[in-house]
Amino acid sequence: MAFDFILMLTENDRTIPDAARRLDEALAGGVRHIGFKDVGLPVPELKRLADTIRAAGGRSYLEVVSLDAAQELASARAAVALDVDCLLGGTRAEAVTEVIRAHPIRYYPFPGHIVGHPSVLAGTADEIVASARRLAALEHVHGLDLLAYRFEGDVPELMARVCAAVGKPVIMAGSIDREARVLAAATAGAAGFTVGTAALGGVFPAEGPGFTGQVRAILELTARGRARSSAPRRLALVAHDSRKAQLRAWVLRHARVLAGHRLICTGGTGTMIAEAAPLLAVERLQRGGRGGDQQLGALVATGDLDGVVFFADPTVPHGGDVDLQALTRLAIVHDIPIALSPSAADMLATALLTRQE
């Protein structure tokens, strides 16, 4: 995730009654990450919400509302039944992962001690960071959902410490209702943030009227936050053999902005880049002909890449043309930016990697 805004169609920890109408307005505003809770509407209506989000090219989220273990497991089973993309929240990760482990759901539980309703993040910063480390070490936990602004201590420091302590994305949730909090989350290294009640209440300054205007205003804030984001990006780099020298030159030219980010490469390309720029963090997959392109496709499908640079040579036939077509298709389906030439890659690097202080 490259610092994304997740719109929650929720208020007072319930899915709003007119969620379907609000969803149409939200999609008109351009938001692509949309969530709801498993209470407030009947399951068939929640299923229609999830299906509509997916049909519109978006990513769907279900947030857990639970006061006990039985309700939390019921929420996990609801996420499976609704076929959402991501499950947010909850505190019983070991039990929940037993429910979802055979399904493609991405799971982001709450670190720390959660009390009350609406939820409050209790405990010390040290305790919350230790909890984050324990949760992130679990195999079927894909990230964390931190109730940052429900914590009474130093929130920016807590966010930065949790993001630095784990190697998985951290989403900030709870009472993010102003620009300063959005930008603070980005600066701390968050992968995204949720807004629900504040958007429905119209608290963000917006140029346009209504809920659609709120969505657009928050998306503008998100873009400003992304430019300040300290979260490392995961960027796939691959090239046809006749374009490898061109990719090597591109990497060396952008080595400064690529530093600190994670570069995922097929085998031969990864070896070349690691030798040319040994200070960059390069992760090698299989060679393209041995399944590396398919491994990249899998990372796109699971949302584990923020962008793809594939320097393709259209002038000569390649045995991997089908793989390139498949990778391009998946990038479109999952809304991952893909650059197939140096000029497009320059634009991607500027938009995705360049950080403003």
Helices (H) and strands (E) in the chain, counts: 15, 17
Q: What is the C-alpha separation between 254 and 170, in angstroms, rounded?
A: 27
Q: What is the C-alpha separation between 271 and 273, in angstroms, rounded?
A: 6
312-330 exposure pattern, b = at least 16 Cβ within 10 A, e = fewer: beeeeeeebeebbebbbeb
Active-site positions read: 293
Q: What is the C-alpha separation between 89 and 105, in angstroms, rounded?
A: 13
Q: What is the C-alpha separation between 150 and 118, in angstroms, rounded?
A: 9
Determine the residue type at 180: A
* String of DSSP letters for 248-299: HHHHHHTHHHHTTSEEEE-HHHHHHHHHH-TTSEEEE---GGGTHHHHHHHH
